[in-house]
Chains A and B, each alone.
Chain A
Amino acid sequence: KAGVTQTPRYLIKTRGQQVTLSCSPISGHRSVSWYQQTPGQGLQFLFEYFSETQRNKGNFPGRFSGRQFSNSRSEMNVSTLELGDSALYLCASSSPTGGLRDTEAFFGQGTRLTVV
């Protein structure tokens, strides 16, 4: 069974540009969540999608957005990039049903974004 796949693995962007990151969950998983990992702030929750609906959002500015497609693949977009957006962006997929007890999260390898 294939794991969570994130593309691209590495990105270098310039301040002010925008970027789109992609995440393909484990087959059958309908919940996809996104996290930002930095040395200073650790792992912080960005948002979570289930059946194409955003169910929860973390404390990030509106420049961070996402969406989920009918095949459960998800994308996140960051507009007007800032130097502080440099981080490892991880997505995780979980649960076939999104039910209350199905919360084991399987992480992808992440996309390392560098903003210069």
Chain B
Amino acid sequence: GENVEQHPSTLSVQEGDSAVIKCTYSDSASNYFPWYKQELGKRPQLIIDIRSNVGEKKDQRIAVTLNKTAKHFSLHITETQPEDSAVYFCAASKNTGFQKLVFGTGTRLLVSP
């Protein structure tokens, strides 16, 4: 069935360092890959997404890359700040006309000042 694996489960970095979170999906029909940030006690919020016709997308300090052949996609955060500390979830969707996201298990990112 559909599955998304996410690594690492926890990631600690120093302020200013880069952080990389990796996900692998199982369903080759997946073509939409969003990333959500969830701060403690708050709702998941979309931070960036990518569709399968694009290999990379950037938005200021955040970038996502997609390798369709390997079924991998990754989130890259540069110049990390303490406010980046949160749980990050990757997800995959087949975009078949209805909304169903298959989520990874999450990465807890801690950015130390």
Interface residues of A (CB under 8 A from B): 4, 31, 33, 35, 42-45, 48, 50, 55-56, 58, 90, 92, 94-95, 98-101, 103-110
Contacts and interface: CB of A to CB of B under 8 A. Distances in A.
A95 B100 CA distance: 13
Contact of B98 (A4, A44, A55, A107): A55
Nearest to A54: B98
A48 B99 contact: yes
The interface size bin for chain B is 20 to 34
Interface of B: 32, 34, 36, 42-46, 49, 51, 89, 91, 93, 95-106
A34 to B, nearest CB: 10
B99 A103 contact: yes
Contact of B99 (A90, A95, A110): A95
A109 B42 contact: yes
Given A90-B43, A103-B95, A109-B42, A42 B103 contact: yes
Given A4-B43, A44-B103, A103-B99, 10 more contacts: A42-B103, A43-B101, A56-B100, A90-B44, A92-B101, A100-B97, A103-B32, A104-B46, A104-B49, A105-B34
A42 B44 contact: no
B54 to A, nearest CB: 13
Contacts of B98: 31, 48, 50, 55-56, 98
A9 B108 CA distance: 24
Given A42-B106, A45-B101, A98-B98, A104 B34 contact: yes
